Amino acid sequence: MATDYQDRLELLRSHANNSMLRGICHGIERECLRVTSNGRLAKTSHNESLGRALTHPYITTDYSEALLEFITPVHCRVDDTLTFLQQLHQFTWQNIDGELLWPGSMPPLLEGDENIPIAQYGSSNIGTMKSVYREGLWHRYGKPMQTIAGIHYNFSLPEAFWDVIGEDVEDADRVSVGYFGMIRNFRRYSWLLMYLFGASPVVHRSFFADDAEGVEKSGLEALDDDALYLPYATSLRMSDMGYSNDAQSSLSICYNTLDEYVDCLTKAIRTPYPPYETIGLKSGDKYLQLNTNVLQIENEYYSNIRPKRVTRSGEKPVTALRNEGVEYIEVRCLDINPFEPLGLSEQDAHFLDVFLLYCALQPSKPILEAECMEITGNFKRVVLEGRRPDLELQNAGQMLSMKKWGTQLLEEMLPIAQLLDEANESSLFAASIYGEQTKLEDVSLTPSAKVLSALQSGDMGYLEFMLSLSKQHADITYSEKLSAERTSYFEEIAGRSIEDQLVRESSDDRSFDEFLKEYMASEV
């Protein structure tokens, strides 16, 4: 089997292997806050006409009752994935009673913890567990952090791909070994995504409430009376003020093998953490968190990328991974682009396919401690000052111009884009490379720069500007009405989700205490 990048490219150039690239699968999860017309977080419940968040396959909620999450099914063509995502937006706009969908990753005006409602999933044991988990996130990280939204990009390669270019290991392990190599390369190069797609250089002051110390610690500067920013930042969402705390920072999750990854997460789920023990498990009969360990469950670990497998009902994600291996990967570091009605563009999605296939084809040695520190430092540097002129990153101990390195990576990716175009009878993959290259050549074209430029040169403040984009997106959506046939389809799914939740609630035969104890004690 070929282990060199160029040799792997040659293997894929053969007709039989190239056609295999049509089997790449995609799915998109887009989080999106519901807000009022004046930029406040919506305090209304998840609309009944959208179905039930617990059991609806495509429209659910994340942390807050106001934080919608759109989940597309798996498609082989990028355009089909985006079309379904657009239809979910259209159906939702028709059913949120005049509320708006916030267009960015960082939240709107927040008015204290009491005005950030935790998502509710009904009275079933699994529904209660989901709400208690979110209660625990509040006590551990604070509610404002849980209003941050993003886009998750799910990606899988056909098993035959790993047979052609995979490592020379047992068939049963080849796919997982291949995906973990891909994940390690993603970590090495994901700083490039933060430069190209980072779109959250600004945050509203209310995110910090009255915490002047928190503002000072963040290092943010005043943009205007209502907003804070960093001059060269690309993504405050992915900075330490986003998904981070001392417990998370202390974790050293290893991506060198599947077993090491599962063991690290399992240890975190089972290791008590004194500050969380101080919070306590319960207050009277009310649960404050699922447990007092470093992580309540695996999903609490806020990584940039996750190996994933579809789980059976009640099955732990780490159990599914250990028993059956990796099925796909989930990219989690993408900001919502506020200028795009769907949160990302067609060009973005095509480029992500090229980028991820590049990560899969490049050789991928294990990441040792020194390189891990280098990777972490590069990512943080681009998040906080990615648009700084002459910014340098570290590559194998040597300092290198970020723009020069980025251009080199795009040049190496171009043959992959051309292979994908050939397989899909398209020109969009190569076009995405050229489009992203313009951002390296002209920093003003990056989403983060465009946000700051609009706020610094215009006469609108942060809230007004974001609301104007939200209303533009609504106008675009309403101008392209969902067909009667598709409306009926989504109404049927919503109705079925209500019935499914009622069935779950009526079929529980254990108390929640018993259910939780059994779940936490189950083997991984």
Can you say whether the dihedral through the CA atoms of 503, 505, 511, 515 is positive or negative?
positive
Q: How many residues does the chain have?
A: 524
Element (H, E) at 418: helix 402-424
State whether residue 366 is helix, strand or coil.
coil
Give per-residue pLDDT as tens, 219-251: 899 998 889 999 999 999 999 876 556 677 677
Residue 4: Cβ-neighbour burial (10 angstroms; 0-12, 13-18, 19+): exposed
Per-residue confidence (pLDDT) for residue 243, from 0 to 100: 57
Ranges of each domain in the chain: 5-521
Give per-residue pLDDT as tens, 342-395: 999 999 999 999 999 999 999 999 999 999 999 999 999 999 999 999 999 999
SS3 labels along 109-146: ECCCHHHCCECCCCCCHHHHHHHHHHHHHHHHHCCHHH
Rounded CA separation 195/379 (Å) = 10
Give per-residue pLDDT as tens, 257-272: 999 999 999 999 999 9
Least confident range from 192-206, 242-256, 276-290: namely: 242-256
Per-residue confidence (pLDDT) for residue 1, from 0 to 100: 54
Quote the pTM value: 0.95
Give per-residue pLDDT as tens, 440-449: 999 999 999 9
The CATH number of the structural domain formed by 5-521 is 3.30.590.20
Residue 89: Cβ-neighbour burial (10 angstroms; 0-12, 13-18, 19+): buried
